Amino acid sequence: MNQSLCDQCVEHIFNQYYPFFCLTIEEISLIGTDSFPIPSFSCEQVQTLFLETHDTIKKQGPLINVPLPAYIVGDIHGNFHDLLRVLLSIDDFLTKTIVFLGDYVDRGSYSLDVICLLFALVCKYPSQFYLIRGNHEFEYVNSQYGFKNEIMERYGDDNLWVSVHKFVFNFLPLAALLNNSIICLHGGLGPNVTSIESIKKIKIPVSGYTVDDIVSDIVWSDPSNEYTTFINSTRGTGYLFGRLAVYEFCKNTNINKIIRGHQCVQHGVNTLSNGQIVTVFSSSNYSNRNNSAGFIYIDEKEEVHAKILHAIHFINRSDAIFTEVIPTPPVRKVDHSNSISFMRLSSFKLSKSSFGPFNKTIGISSINNKSMYSGQGMKKQCFIPMPTSKSNGPEGCSIFPNLLD
C-alpha cells in the first residue's frame, strides 16, 4: 500500500471514532449499545494503522521533550469508555497537548479499541498526542492479562499482537520531559535511573524489560513511604523507592516533579514526597474496586491541577454491539473544520442484543436542543454527519444509524 493510501486508511479509522467526540459525558456509558455501536476494523486496516504509527514514533527515542501546558493521562487498561470520558473532559482536546503514561492494554476488555483510537490520534496530531510505554506494553505481560486473547478472539490468530509489539510498543519512549523540569514515566525510579542522560542512552527499540535494568526500573517501580532509598519491589520486578531516593534524583537532575502511573489510586490522583511525586490513574472501577479515574493539567507555571471522574459502569465487551467498517479507505481526506463523511458500514453483534436506531435512546427533539455543528462537536455540542456523495452514488453514513429518519 502506498503512502497516500496509508494516510487515507488512518484518516478513515479516525473518522469512525470522530462522532463519539460529540457525545455528552453521560452518553459515553451507552457506547457499545445499539444506540452507539463501536467501530470494528479489518486486520488489514489495523495493520496499516500500526505501520503508520511506527513511522510517526520511530525517531522519537527513549525520552521525548514536551512543552507546557499539558494534560497527563494515567493507566487506561482497556477502558475505552473512560478514555473517551477523559478526552471529552478537556475543552477542545484535539488542540491540546496530552501525554499518556502507558498501560493502554490488559485488564479491561476494550484494549484494541483503546490503542486504535490512541494510534489514530498520534498519527493525525503527532505534536499534540504523546504515548510513553508501560509495563503492560511488553509481550510477557500482555500475553497473560487479556490483550493477546482479545486479539485472538477478534481475528483468529496472533498476527496483529506480534505486529503491535514489533512496530509500535517496542518503539515507544520510556519517559517524557516537560519544560526540562518535570519528568513523566510509567513506574518510577530505581538505582539504575541516575540521571536524564541515563534515560537518553536507552537503545530503542526495546523488546523486553529484562534486556536493560533501567527499563525495568522505569516501568515497574513504585514510590513508598516506608523506605528511604531502594528495596526490591514486592511485584518481583523493579523497586520500591523512598523519599531520599526522590530527593537525590531531583537534586541531581534539576527535576521538580515526577509524574507517574502504574498504581490504582482510589481517587484517580495521589501525591507523595511533599508533592514531588504525582500518581495518575485514569481507569475507573479497576478490577471492580469502585475507584475514580483521574488526570491532571500542568500549566505554564508548573502548577498541577487534578480532575477526578467518578466510577461508571458500561456494557461488557461480550454484550457490546460493534459496527464493522469495510476495508476500502476513503477516496479523499476529510476537512473536519467543515464536514465529515463516512464509508458504508455493516453491523454485527457479539450478544443477543439487537441493532437499533439512533433515536431509540436519544430522540430528535433532544438533539435539536443541542448546538448543531457540521464536523465539530466538542463539549456537548453535537453535529449531524451528512453524506457527501451524490444520490446516485454510494452513500456515506455515520456509525449512528437512522439519525435523520
Pick out the chain residues at pLDDT < 50. Answer: 330-348, 350-405
Helix axes 147-155, 159-167, angle to 10 degrees: 130
Helix (H, G, I), strand (E, B) or coil at 161: helix
d(CA 378, CA 382): 7
Residues recognised as catalytic = 136
Question: What predicted TM-score, i.e. pTM, was given to this entire model?
Answer: 0.82
The arrangement of secondary structure in 3-309, i.e. its CATH architecture, is 4-Layer Sandwich (3.60)
Return the C-alpha torsion angle 71, 72, 74, 77, nearest 10: 50
Nearest to 273 by CA among 252, 245, 297, 296: 245
- What pLDDT was estimated at residue 64? 99
Q: Which residues sit opposite 185 in a β-bridge?
A: 175
Under a CB-based contact definition with an 8 Å cutoff, are residues 97 and 73 in contact? no
